[in-house]
Amino acid sequence: MELSREIVEKIEKLPIELYEKQNIILVKTGLKPAADLMDRAFAIRLSKHGHFEIPLPYLDGVYRIPTQIPKSVIEVLEGLKLPYTPPEFIISLVPPNSIIYDENAREELYEIDYASSTENLQKLIEALKITVEKERNRKFGDALGVPKTNIDYFVGDRVIEEGTVPVKLSEEQKMLLNFTNINYVTELRDPLTVEESLKLGEKYSSVLREVAPNLYEKMISKFRQNLMSQL
């Protein structure tokens, strides 16, 4: 599936995280069956005198406005003919590592589920309705196209023998895993699970490099920055 330069540029300009932009491309090109987009809209700091809203600036200094963010995302999804769910707004605690954190801080998030087909979107929606956590996580991972070995590990069905030596990853391999956003894989001691994740990362990065080279380079740059900050 080829994407026009015009639509790729629209995706790249969306005020969402790089990984979320990548997901839109991967769903449209058929490498992911579905995705769930969640991003910040507003930080809401509560006080004794009520509350006031603080727009969160994006990386390039553009301010995010709740009514505008979902609208711009929806316009892109509709342009790509990808079925989606209506935006759902959620008030959440602000993470302790946030620059706006205090014990009363809250942030407003919005979530949109979308897929490559109506059938795949329904599969994702049904997974989220499941109340049993283990079953929900399995169905949810499957709906998003996560490798079965990773799902098995995450839900506790794939037990790694005690004493198994951790898989050592090169910087290049870590970079590939960065494209999958399967963060816990770096802690795995199961060679098969790591291998499946690396294959997925190779597929994702290869398509992104071809379809959206600018976005690909930005993700590489961000990965290297994160790697340097850990030193």
Tell me the C-alpha distance between 134 and 132, whole Å: 6
Position 205 in a domain: yes
Q: Which residue has the tokens 């049993």?
A: 132
Position 209 in a domain: yes
Q: Looking at residues 33-41, what average pLDDT do you find?
A: 84
Torsional class of 221: left (φ above 0), alpha (ψ -120 to 50), beta (otherwise): alpha
* Residue 101 pLDDT exceeds 90: no
Tell me the C-alpha distance between 154 and 170, whole Å: 23
77 shares its domain with 188:
no
Position 48 in a domain: yes
Tell me the C-alpha distance between 5 and 96, whole Å: 39
Tell me the C-alpha distance between 114 and 105, whole Å: 29
120 shares its domain with 153:
no
59 shares its domain with 115:
yes
46 shares its domain with 122:
yes
Q: What is the pLDDT of residues 172-194, one digit of tens each?
A: 888 888 888 765 554 566 788 88
pLDDT at 103: 67
- As for how many domains the chain has, the answer is 2
119 shares its domain with 183:
no
Alpha helices in 80-147 (DSSP H): 118-129, 133-144
* Residue 52 pLDDT exceeds 50: no
Position 150 in a domain: yes
Position 137 in a domain: no
CA distances from 105 to 43, 51, 94, 146, 221 (A): 7, 10, 6, 33, 31
User: CB atoms < 10 A from the CB of 18, how many?
Assistant: 16
* Residue 60 pLDDT exceeds 50: no
103 shares its domain with 202:
no
Residue type at 45? R
Q: Pick from 89, 105, 130: which residue ends a domain?
A: 130
Q: Pick from 130, 164, 198: which residue ends a domain?
A: 130
90 shares its domain with 153:
no
* Residue 50 pLDDT exceeds 60: no
Q: Which residue has the tokens 């109506």?
A: 118
Best CA proximity match to 54, nearest among 103, 99, 1, 115: 99
Position 73 in a domain: yes
Is pLDDT larger for residue 98 or for residue 81? 81
pLDDT at 184: 54
153 shares its domain with 117:
no
Q: Percent of the chain, pLDDT > 70?
A: 75
Tell me the C-alpha distance between 79 and 63, whole Å: 24
102 shares its domain with 163:
no
Position 24 in a domain: yes
Q: Looking at residues 83-91, what average pLDDT do you find?
A: 85
Tell me the C-alpha distance between 24 and 116, whole Å: 9
Position 184 in a domain: yes
Lowest-confidence pick of 41-50, 77-86, 104-113, 154-163: 41-50
126 shares its domain with 150:
no
Domain residues for the domain of 15 are: 1-130
117 shares its domain with 153:
no
Q: What is the pLDDT of residues 8-35, one digit of tens each?
A: 999 999 888 899 999 999 999 999 999 9
Q: Pick from 86, 101, 130: which residue ends a domain?
A: 130
Tell me the C-alpha distance between 163 and 199, whole Å: 25
Tell me the C-alpha distance between 117 and 83, whole Å: 6
56 shares its domain with 94:
yes
